[in-house]
Amino acid sequence: MAITRGIPIPSNGKLEDLISRLKEALGPGWRTSVLPDIKQLRRARNAAQHEGLEPDRDQVPLWAAAVESYVEQLIHAQFGVDIFRVRLADAIVDGALADLMRAAEASLELGEIRDAVDDASKAYRHATAAWKRLRPQQRLPGSIRSSILGRSDREDGVHTEIAAMTQALQAAAFTSDTAEAEWFVQALSERGDVLDHDDADRVIAFVFVWILGFEAAASTWVSDRQLRAALAARMVRDNRNTEASIDACTDISVSERSAEATFRIANVPSESDYPVWSIQLQSVLRETASGSWWVKNDGTVTVNRPREQLEDLEGDFVTLTDALALAEKRMLEEAVHERERRIVTATRKAELDAEVGALRDDWPDWVARISWSNARTSGSEERWIVTLTPEASRVRIDRADAPSAKKTVSVADLIRGHARIEQCYGIGSSSEIGIEPVMPAGSLISILQDLDHDVAASIKFEAERATQAENQRQATLNRINSLIGDQKVR
């Protein structure tokens, strides 16, 4: 604590002097009533260490309570937090991972073992996915199936062994204990509720340490050193109003057949704008200049010509200067057009969302959300997105007109088959449905209402069937236990 506050440690090593300095630094924010016990504990520790005197056993519980109170009050004075409310998740930087680990700890405190393990496992999967994204894509050994050797997996199990080894290596990425990593992988693979409280606590601890190691590595990880070098070489403009210009011709290389000049460009755009600028400049050069031009990632531009055109490289300075100016002009024009498009899109979205929102009371109960999107799909610039409730996304509807191979259809199939629907398709998940072209909100709601009877009836039927099945299951269980009880009485 003294080091955190920048308080020098007393040269005489006396605890009383250090506490005095802490009191002065922390001010009225630190008040403790257990200092006599702490000083007595220190004297007992010194006597045991230097003189071999055994401390009074009856005092140990009192000293433990005093240390707990002392640390709690000191932490609160310095950091303003209750140490007993601090959780492992508080040390995790990533908000989503921290929330999952917080949920895992909360579930464990409530004795909900399965939920605790599931939340920790989900956090681990998210963290390992992020770790994979940091590294260059490589073909893992697990990608090589034993069938390549002329034998099936069922016969030799080589692929299964490789997959297990890959999982264990991934788990061991941020731990020095490979046995613990293997235990963790095996624990996550367990089926059913066989893990106990200690197992869940151990799983959470492992995931916590793994995530901390991952975040520490990620904070200094360089996934593309070529890009880092290119970024360092660029001469980036100080403000957006400065235009790119030629700084120097850094090199002319001549071979037997060709000559190439390299120009370093000053005042290139920022890292976020550079890709668009380089594409724009490359396009301008291909349209207006002869020779082979390349806009490179390090802020240089090269032009390659046949060797007999070596002297023409002098004129390329003017060509590149004009191209830089034209590229800047096009960038500005495109930025204006983009702002206009965004305004139009935002206005259109606000109008349509308001229109469909005004009809909210008319939506069928199985529709969770209706929104407008201008994401491009199959050439279309806009669409309605209908989000179904979980029950509607799972339900199957009996239809006499269903294809012979399908006796039931999904809600998406039902919408797709409506006479007034031109295009209907799934979007990433079974709960989201895209509808094109965009029709008036009232017309869309009308179509959904046409289907409401069949969908609502099917959802109700499935719910009643699930309830009936559960009642039958519970009744059977009760009868069996009743028979067992009667047998015990006999």
278 shares its domain with 212: no
Per mean pLDDT, which range of 23-32, 86-95, 191-200, 364-373 is the poorest? Answer: 23-32
73 shares its domain with 32: yes
216 shares its domain with 128: yes
User: Which residue's entry shows tokens 């920790």?
Assistant: 120
294 shares its domain with 393: no
207 shares its domain with 287: no
- Choose one of 169, 190, 220: the last residue of a domain: 220
pLDDT above 70 for 377: no
127 shares its domain with 49: no
For the stretch 293-318, pLDDT in tens is 999 999 999 999 999 988 888 889 99
Tokens at residue 114, please?
A: 């399965």
Q: Residues 412-425: what's their mean pLDDT?
A: 92
For the stretch 13-39, pLDDT in tens is 677 777 778 777 777 777 777 888 888
327 shares its domain with 410: no
pLDDT given for residue 451 in this prediction = 94
Report if residue 99 sits inside a domain: no
Beta-bridge mates of residue 373: 383
- Higher pLDDT: 429 or 237? It is 237
Confidence of residue 121 (pLDDT cuts 50, 70, 90): very high
Q: Residues 182-211: what's their mean pLDDT?
A: 92
pLDDT above 50 for 394: yes
- Choose one of 220, 250, 265: the last residue of a domain: 220
Report if residue 415 sits inside a domain: yes
pLDDT above 80 for 350: yes
pLDDT given for residue 211 in this prediction = 95
pLDDT above 70 for 150: no
pLDDT above 80 for 349: yes
Q: Residues 56-75: what's their mean pLDDT?
A: 87
pLDDT given for residue 34 in this prediction = 83
Report if residue 162 sits inside a domain: yes
pTM of the model: 0.60
pLDDT given for residue 73 in this prediction = 84
Checking 405-412 for CB contacts under 8 A at 24+ apart, the result is 411/366, 411/451, 411/455
Q: 425: Cβ–Cβ under 8 A, 6 or more apart, which residues?
A: 377, 412, 416, 433, 434
Tokens at residue 156, please?
A: 């030799």
Confidence of residue 380 (pLDDT cuts 50, 70, 90): low
Report if residue 58 sits inside a domain: yes
63 shares its domain with 166: no
166 shares its domain with 190: yes
Report if residue 253 sits inside a domain: yes
Q: How far is CA 448 from CA 341, 385, 425, in A?
A: 31, 13, 15
For the stretch 437-467, pLDDT in tens is 999 999 999 999 999 999 999 999 999 999 9
Q: Residues 116, 105: contact at Cβ < 8 Å?
A: yes
pLDDT given for residue 403 in this prediction = 53
Q: Residues 48-71: what's their mean pLDDT?
A: 87
Q: Residues 353, 371: contact at Cβ < 8 Å?
A: yes
Report if residue 107 sits inside a domain: no
pLDDT given for residue 381 in this prediction = 74
Report if residue 111 sits inside a domain: no
Buried b (16+ CB within 10 A) or exposed e, 438-453: beebeebbebbeebee
- Tell me which residue of 289, 272, 312, 106 sits closest to 204, measured CA to CA: 106
pLDDT above 60 for 108: yes
pLDDT above 60 for 140: no
Average pLDDT value for the chain: 87
Confidence of residue 142 (pLDDT cuts 50, 70, 90): very low
H/E/C letters for each residue in the chain? CHHHHCCCCCCCCCHHHHHHHHHHHHHHHCCCCCHHHHHHHHHHHHHHHHCCCCCCHHHHHHHHHHHHHHHHHHHHHHHCCCHHHCCHHHHCCCHHHHHHHHHHHHHHHCCCHHHHHHHHHHHHHHHHHHHHHHCCCCCCHHHCCHHHHCCCHHHHCHHHHHHHHHHHHHHHHHCCCHHHHHHHHHHHCCCCCCCCHHHHHHHHHHHHHHHHHHHHHHHHCCCCHHHHHHHHHCCECCCCCCCCEEEEEEEEEECCCEEEEEEEEECECCCCCHHHHHHHHHHHHHHHCCCEEEECCCCEEEEEEEHHHHHHHHHHHHHHHHHHHHHHHHHHHHHHHHHHHHHHHHHHHHHHHHHHHCCHHHCCCCEEEEEEECCCECCECCEEEEEECHHHHHCCEECCCCCCCCCEECHHHHHHCCCCCCEEEEECEEEEEEEECCCCHHHHHHHHHHHHHHHHHHHHHHHHHHHHHHHHHHHHHHHHHHHHHHHHHC
234 shares its domain with 328: yes
Q: State the pairing for strand pair 245-254/423-427.
A: unpaired
- Choose one of 186, 220, 254: the last residue of a domain: 220
- Tell me which residue of 439, 336, 432 sits closest to 380, measured CA to CA: 439
- Higher pLDDT: 5 or 393? It is 393
pLDDT above 70 for 193: yes
Q: How many domains does the chain have?
A: 4
| Apex 261 CA angle, 259 and 266, nearest 5 | 175
210 shares its domain with 241: no
Report if residue 449 sits inside a domain: yes
| CA dihedral angle for residue 402, residue 404, residue 410, residue 414, rounded to 10 degrees | -20
As a whole-number percent, the residues of the chain with pLDDT over 70 amount to 92
Confidence of residue 400 (pLDDT cuts 50, 70, 90): low
Q: Residues 294, 301: contact at Cβ < 8 Å?
A: yes
216 shares its domain with 234: no
Q: Residues 169-184: what's their mean pLDDT?
A: 89
pLDDT given for residue 199 in this prediction = 95
Confidence of residue 406 (pLDDT cuts 50, 70, 90): low
The domain in which residue 126 lies consists of 119-141+156-220
Calculate helix-pair angle for 197-220, 113-134, nearest 10 degrees: 20
pLDDT given for residue 478 in this prediction = 93
